[in-house]
Amino acid sequence: MLQTSPYAPLYGSQEQLPVVRRSRLQTSKRWLTHYGLLIIMVMNVGILVLLGWDLHTSTANTARTFPTVNVATTPTAPRSTMTTVVAPNLPVKFSVDHVTPYKNQAGRGTCWDFGTIGLLEQSYRRHGVSQGWLAPHDYVAFSEQAYGIEVAAMCTGPSTSPQQKACRIADDNIWRNSTEGGEVPLLYYLQHGLHDAVYPDAVCPYIPTMGHDLECPGLALRQQANPLRFAVESMETYYEEATIKAQLVARGSAMPFSTNMVTLTHYLPCIGDLVTDPRCAPSECHLCPPELPQATCCIPQSGDSSVTMEGEFVSHSSMASDGGHVMLLVGFNDLYETRDGFTGGFIVKNSWADGRYQGSHSMQYWMQNISEWEERILCPNSYNPFNWYMASEEDALVGIDAVLSDDSKLYAHLNQMPLHLRCSDADACDPSLVYFAKNRTDYGDHMYIMCFYEYNPS
């Protein structure tokens, strides 16, 4: 459904503010949220229609790279008055242009900040390219650190001040002199005070460590010379798939995407070597979930993330709510099939880094415009076990001899897949040895069993 806010921006106003949907913020690149998760996922997508950008000359060093331009007002798409949008002419896949590269929030609760700045960067780049003062492959990175400081400054004050109606949201800390928890709609409600709160990233680089929310040496000196200004025409919120997709295509603009997050409880079936585990005793074990129909008695393993190494948000029969998160909606692909067999999903630009427990892919990969091989060059994600090379036993070479052969080295290099694996956890393997992936078996419930060769190079 379409929800258009009838409320004026709050800063300097006495208008009553509706309750903003809670978005508790948690601690890359782009991720796919498949439509199967929409059954249980409460989400909302807000679009802030940016009326225009103004650039002003300045003597500040960081401003000299910007030309003196007044951006003309851009017309906005008509607002839908339908509660459900029927769009038979929608493409089966779509991505917005001019999306800027991913950034890492590094465990701080600033996803709302990154979602806001990501929207502004995409809007600024789109305006710049259309007006001719940015080349198609150029973009300007804005400062999440500075924007967070400016919002915190506006939100810190007496509870009776007008802006506190927007700032004081349950579980947010932006009104407590901290950027650990805020809301994207603050850009709209406080726009008259924030219209010049966007700075080039070089002015105020992001500090990844906790406890430095409000640090930016020299920011006060830059404020008067800041060349960037923006205006927001309206804010609208969409809650269901059809309208979201239709508006994404119609406007061609990225949208901040707010959603609840979950943790998963996976289950180890009491089969094989686990049969003798005390936790598999009938009085101790748990009933296996539908994902593991081959067994009835299971051992729960709780607290896992709902994001996979492929960058897919998965649904599960054993999910628990774990706060909220903001990302940037940048596209959808109704044809993409996930590793779990779900078809179709939204493409979001996240602010989490790849690592041992989660991965990501490029926009072109999610749009199925490039091959797996090309993606491994653009977005290696070497932590992902599905990217590790497994040698085939050919030409009478078996076992460790097969993986040590020149052919295996050549094929692994050709396919851009890691061959030699090093141990990073002494509790699970031996750091003095080299490991090679041997095989991988689907264990069920999003789990796999992998076997490795151990090799002592000395």
pLDDT value of residue 6: 43
Q: Is the confidence at residue 428, as pLDDT, over 50?
A: yes
Q: What is the mean pLDDT of residues 447-453?
A: 91
Q: Are residues 392 and 255 part of one domain?
A: no
pLDDT value of residue 161: 83
Greater confidence (431 vs 41) lies with 431
252, part of any domain: yes
Three-state SS for 33?
Answer: strand
Three-state SS for 369?
Answer: coil
Give strand pairing partners of 228: 55
Most confident listed range (268-272, 294-298, 362-366): 362-366
pLDDT value of residue 295: 87
Task: Give the H/E segment covering residue 350.
Answer: strand 343-350
Q: Is the confidence at residue 294, as pLDDT, over 90?
A: no
Q: Is the confidence at residue 5, as pLDDT, over 60?
A: no
Q: What is the mean pLDDT of residues 210-233?
A: 89
235, part of any domain: yes
Pairing of strands 319-337, 343-350: antiparallel
184, part of any domain: yes
Greater confidence (87 vs 10) lies with 87
175, part of any domain: yes
Q: Would you say 44 and 239 are in contact if contact means Cβ atoms under 8 Å apart? A: yes
Instruction: Summarize pLDDT for 45-75 with one digit per residue, the tens.
Output: 665 555 555 553 333 332 222 222 233 333 3
DSSP of 248-296: HHHH---EEEEEEEEEEEEEEES-GGGGGSGGGSTTT-EEPPTT-TT-S
- 349: closest CA among 96, 31, 121, 37? 31
Round the CA-based radius of gyration of the chain to a whole number and report it: 25
User: Look-up: residue for tokens 């609760």?
Assistant: 109
Tokens of 346: 């939204």
- 113: closest CA among 53, 37, 210, 185? 185
**Which range among 19-28, 98-107, 120-129, 397-406 shows the weakest confidence by mean pLDDT?**
19-28
**Which range among 62-71, 329-338, 381-390 shows the weakest confidence by mean pLDDT?**
62-71
Give the CA-trace dihedral at 192, 193, 198, 202, to 10 degrees: 160
422, part of any domain: yes
**Which range among 8-12, 206-210, 253-257 shows the weakest confidence by mean pLDDT?**
8-12
Most confident listed range (74-88, 309-323, 376-390): 376-390
Q: What is the mean pLDDT of residues 229-252?
A: 93
Three-state SS for 39?
Answer: helix
Confidence class of residue 159 from pLDDT cuts 50, 70 and 90?
confident
Among 260, 294, 313, residue at a domain's last position: 260
Average pLDDT, the chain: 81
Percent of the chain with pLDDT over 70: 81
Give the CA-trace dihedral at 126, 144, 237, 41, to 10 degrees: 120
Instruction: Summarize pLDDT for 165-194 with one digit per residue, the tens.
Output: 889 888 888 998 899 999 999 999 999 999
Greater confidence (352 vs 160) lies with 352
pLDDT value of residue 51: 52
Instruction: Summarize pLDDT for 118-157 with one digit per residue, the tens.
Output: 999 999 999 999 999 999 999 999 999 999 999 999 998 7
Q: Give the whole-angstrom CA distance, residue 269 versus residue 295.
A: 6
Domain count within the chain: 2
Tokens of 154: 């506006």
Greater confidence (330 vs 36) lies with 330
Range of the domain at 455: 388-458
Among 260, 276, 296, residue at a domain's last position: 260
Q: Is the confidence at residue 225, as pLDDT, over 70?
A: yes
The answer to whether the Cα torsion of 334, 336, 341, 346 is positive or negative is negative
Give strand pairing partners of 235: 48
For helices 144-155 and 111-131, give the axis angle rounded to 10 degrees.
Answer: 120
Q: What is the mean pLDDT of residues 87-107?
A: 91
Among 243, 260, 277, residue at a domain's last position: 260
Q: Which amino acid, 197? A: A
274, part of any domain: no
362, part of any domain: no
424, part of any domain: yes
